[in-house]
Structure 1
């Protein structure tokens, strides 16, 4: 449902006037994209958490009032105010986002609307390239983070109906950028980076934005540390009035240690959540990742309102991962004594590759007084997963209440399991018509032809299907909009998670359906949104035999609301909430039907506010509240993960120097009450991080 206004990204503005134009006129009268540069400083105007336009997928530079779906945009101003260092801090501003089965110190396995976001299909760079989220995505070189919620099949093809996380790279703008910064935390992390942006050439036709960052990483978990690096470049060339080129290149590396998780059977026996500083995994048990993303794009104006766009990209990721899951030796004495063991495996050779191609033709056509924005496109995503050798080791004694140090080099590896690789090719041909009926109504209709081929050990298959889209947007006033949409999509049924008997098995894709109705209104300097959604999809869960299966139907139904922007010149807010009812049906297990889908909180929400006194405009103080409701860890709802609330506090001050130079100092504290909570659901559980205090100093030249 989230990709309905595809043509608007490369065609004309919306039917009703937007507060800020989403496009400009070229020399020949054709419509071209308006530059999006949130770092441009407007005299007398303060940075805002509100965003006028979106960039995810086909919504590039489209007015947010004209997007017929729920979308959360976390601007650079909001990321900076919170001292965010990764996607986890960014997405906590969106209601209902939880994590599953992986430690937040190694990678993020996000769940939205009760549906897992697939690490290889649901994350995008600049609304296009499928990047691989097995390596934590850095945000130092990103201008914003967007979460486009729900089904997104028309434009993105195969992906789960949880949503698309889009990270938008910083680019050179009209204002030169030279920024040097250092940051760290109370645990001992320390890092530094450089951000340079320039346009040059006789007509400013060239643009370059370079980012580099390196840090030593410490965590609140005993003995879990490491490092990470980032190098990136965003390059722009306006070759002529008709042709423009873009190229993005980024490489990042992260190396930390595995902290160790707690198996479901052990977690359900605990009477309290364990100490968040404890580490159960062996010392130096590695979690190391290397990722490279390359994305190129060309736009050519054919004449009038018609244009061509071509994109190509490559995302590669390599991972070395050691798992360690704690379980009790005895279910009767273990919970009292803490005596148990860790068992797990080591996979040194996980390699993934995504190859991306897309071509589009877009333009306008008038018929009987109705203006049609038309889009025709073809896209191809080829995903390659190479063979993996997983080595299991013999169980080693451990104590959950008083962990002992275990050397990774002392582990005795007993078996090696070959996990065969696979090749998935998702080819889509799509067409969309957005009809402007008068000045206030948009009628939307589109369809995608999906051809999905899979080659894996012992079985090759092809799935062909049609995924339709339909919707309407009504603009009663220039500052309000109402919408309704229906969309179908093909989604991966998932990969059997860690700890299951069929771990690593890839299940066949299934069709999901979604309806959504909502509205938006501008209030003062903020944007308020309200939406109802319902997703019907195949149900995946871990059965009584510890097998991950797809059986039955899951109905995810809920309401979301948000308010984001400046309520006064001094007060900025980001407020969001969600009610979700996710129900299992037709499972074939009478006791399971009607129960909640695992890891789906009924309620979730966040409030973040920053205040800048009128008398001290360069000083800001902020605070946040983040709530996640009760979840169940298993399909039979026998193990509860209690609701929890964490709090944040922060402050920042800009010290102005000669000329345009300035130094900005920031300090941010997360989970300041040191709340103990389960941060993940799934088959393996991890405790949320203890209190963290981060600081930074950033100098603009």
Structure 2
């Protein structure tokens, strides 16, 4: 029996037995000549977020560029992964986001740190596998430095996944979906309160059979979660949650340049990891979280939060890279040949623990009003792995295949070495922020975080043991001025901190992490609530950080600066009763400087377009109640393939189309959706990473999908 198909079927059958109304709906649909239509009045956009501070604050008053997707928007847009969500924000790009591996992104042109840039309820979690969205109420993105809010994180920003909590009224939602090429998906969302109303629950489960647009990159995913709350008293609230996911999928490596100079011309579904001995990448991940809130008075409260994450991965790949026949370490042969490497890394583990305590309150000093937050946090992480196998396949130590005509080769036959702890982190922080209302229109946001960063690292016997123990101050100051009750302008200055990048395979210091590095940002912006359900924002920024790259001696180093200057614009919400819009655009001048190398200085950062935009529109057809049609157009300018800007990949346009019909069938509120991704079947290079010698990853070809949502 096919396990993923069974998982989806089991979800559907369980729902039919638990809620017989669905079964009735299926049998009586044909008998209904005039179905009852349900019109919902849900807001078209979120107006608050927690990612830019320490509380759930109005976006209009937040001195930062923030975007939010709600769980309802994720349902409406058929978003099943962060990759799906990213196409609605022009500031987010792929960054070695290989199908079947971990989802990896950049914001404002800076690659996010898998260990620190992704958060669950503000707690750091690794993004080394697909982060499940089934139990997420919102997906929040803070663009730019987050030193005050998060401490250690990449300068591009952070992605925060807000967990779904128990509902006050019963919630019963089922989603079933099928995509072209055979992907099947089923999910259940159950919420409510027990007989004792002090206790609430939220359960989510999902099963997915994965059939990628790349031939052979198939797999399956299973997910389950639970969240509970206990209203101990009017002043005290305890929340706990847990989730577990297991994913198995064959990964799809990218392509290199032919002769290290020319873009290959291949179909988007071409698979390079197609040896008979290729195996899926196996990952398991879990979270256990808790949050306790106590309100001393209406104005003062304390909150203690914690999250323990566990991650394990077994990685197998027939990895393409280089051309020995032409003496190329990176780059395929001119005729499409490439060396095949046997890569195995078993038992990789990470176990980050985050704990945070806050005290928040309001008070006045004379005519000034204060909103104060003070707190402390602890982050501990242990990373374990064994020396991986990375050798050329074949019994003679040299084997090759071809991108146009695959050649089957023998595996190396080895495996990775025993697992042991190789890196441990211990970060302790104290932070404080005061939002000072100088008058009715002007607010000063001033805060700072002190982070003590400790890291112990052992890579292998050829490199000495490394120890880091250093403290950093990270200030953040901003002014927010309300021109009108619905219009604000802000200016801000911030400093951030990130762990140094890890030297990639093939460098002289492979596996060694660089020391932590600081970054700086200046930003100005304007925000407006055009009406209660339509908002607009414009932000200009400059970010500077140390440039990391592989130098002429083949060492991975930090030298010079990466300077990113940009302009972001967004418009989101309901433009009229029937029309919902989402517009996002970013113009970015990314430049490498002060390296002392003419080959790098003044050149654009790789994999970052100078301009990117995405436009979404949904129109509720007034002549047919319950019917809506939608379109999403994405444009990306050309991107540099390499740091020396010798090769660029072309710009591209992608059009996605969709439609939905909301009705009642047998008394069950039902929403049927259909969509066509990449409707005109355009070939494009969506990801152009300079990592590991440089790889290109094609975007998905045209894909049809249909789904049904039942709200009981």
Is the shorter-chain TM-score for this pair beyond 0.5, marking a shared fold? yes
Q: Is this contact kept in 2: 1:384–1:422, CA < 8 A?
A: yes
Number of the residue aligned with 2:426:
425
SS of equivalent to 2:434 = strand
- Partners of 1:338 and 1:698 lie apart in 2 by 45
Offset from partner CA, 1:537-594 (integer Å, 9 cap, x none): 1111233344332111111110000000000111111110001111111112133211
Number of the residue aligned with 1:101:
96
Q: How does 1:245-324 map to 2 (within 5 A)?
A: 245-263=238-256, 266=258, 268-281=260-273, 282-283=275-276, 284-323=278-317, 324=319
Give aligned pairs, total: 653
Change over 3 Å in CA distance of 1:287–1:432 after alignment to 2: same
1:219 aligns with 2:212: yes
1:397 aligns with 2:400: yes
- Partners of 1:588 and 1:193 lie apart in 2 by 54
1:166 aligns with 2:160: yes
Number of the residue aligned with 1:565:
573
**How much has 1:267 moved relative to structure 2?**
7.5
Q: How does 1:129-168 map to 2 (within 5 A)?
A: 129-168=123-162
- Partners of 1:586 and 1:336 lie apart in 2 by 35
**How much has 1:436 moved relative to structure 2?**
1.1
Q: How does 1:347-496 map to 2 (within 5 A)?
A: 347-395=345-393, 396-405=399-408, 410-413=411-414, 421-457=422-458, 458-496=465-503
Number of the residue aligned with 2:710:
699
- Partners of 1:456 and 1:75 lie apart in 2 by 39
SS of equivalent to 1:596 = coil
- Partners of 1:436 and 1:384 lie apart in 2 by 42
Moved more, 334-343 or 512-521: 334-343
1:690 aligns with 2:684: no
Q: CA RMSD in A?
A: 2.2
Offset from partner CA, 1:307-327 (integer Å, 9 cap, x none): 111111101111112341243
Q: Is this contact kept in 2: 1:480–1:519, CA < 8 A?
A: yes
Offset from partner CA, 1:462-493 (integer Å, 9 cap, x none): 11121111111111222111111111121122
- Partners of 1:223 and 1:99 lie apart in 2 by 22
Number of the residue aligned with 1:3:
none
Offset from partner CA, 1:640-665 (integer Å, 9 cap, x none): 12222211011111221344x22211
Number of the residue aligned with 1:7:
none
- Partners of 1:467 and 1:64 lie apart in 2 by 23
Change over 3 Å in CA distance of 1:656–1:308 after alignment to 2: same
Offset from partner CA, 1:12-37 (integer Å, 9 cap, x none): xxxxxxxxxxxxxxxxxxxxxxxxxx
Number of the residue aligned with 1:111:
106
Number of the residue aligned with 1:79:
74
1:88 aligns with 2:64: no
Offset from partner CA, 1:475-532 (integer Å, 9 cap, x none): 1222111111111121122222455454432111111111111011122431100000
- Partners of 1:620 and 1:501 lie apart in 2 by 57
Choose from 189, 197, 219 the match for 2:191: 197
Moved more, 282-291 or 233-242: 282-291
- Partners of 2:702 and 2:148 lie apart in 1 by 42
Offset from partner CA, 1:68-103 (integer Å, 9 cap, x none): 000011223332232111001111111132222341
- Partners of 1:440 and 1:671 lie apart in 2 by 46
SS of equivalent to 1:398 = strand
**How much has 1:669 moved relative to structure 2?**
1.7
Number of the residue aligned with 2:234:
241
- Partners of 1:529 and 1:499 lie apart in 2 by 44
Change over 3 Å in CA distance of 1:405–1:216 after alignment to 2: farther
Offset from partner CA, 1:279-306 (integer Å, 9 cap, x none): 1113433211110011100011122522
- Partners of 1:545 and 1:276 lie apart in 2 by 35
- Partners of 2:42 and 2:550 lie apart in 1 by 46
Choose from 661, 664, 677 the match for 1:653: 661
**How much has 1:228 moved relative to structure 2?**
0.1
Choose from 181, 197, 219 the match for 1:187: 181
Q: Is this contact kept in 1: 2:108–2:156, CA < 8 A?
A: yes
Number of the residue aligned with 1:209:
202
Offset from partner CA, 1:91-140 (integer Å, 9 cap, x none): 111113222234133221101111111111011112x2211110101112
**How much has 1:633 moved relative to structure 2?**
2.1
Q: Is this contact kept in 2: 1:353–1:384, CA < 8 A?
A: yes
Q: Is this contact kept in 2: 1:268–1:639, CA < 8 A?
A: no
Change over 3 Å in CA distance of 1:271–1:148 after alignment to 2: closer
Number of the residue aligned with 2:673:
666
Moved more, 333-342 or 363-372: 333-342
- Partners of 2:144 and 2:112 lie apart in 1 by 10
SS of equivalent to 1:635 = coil
Q: Is this contact kept in 2: 1:226–1:257, CA < 8 A?
A: yes
Number of the residue aligned with 1:16:
none
**How much has 1:44 moved relative to structure 2?**
6.3
**How much has 1:57 moved relative to structure 2?**
5.9
Number of the residue aligned with 1:49:
44
Moved more, 663-672 or 224-233: 663-672
- Partners of 2:369 and 2:625 lie apart in 1 by 47
SS of equivalent to 2:255 = strand
- Partners of 1:549 and 1:163 lie apart in 2 by 22
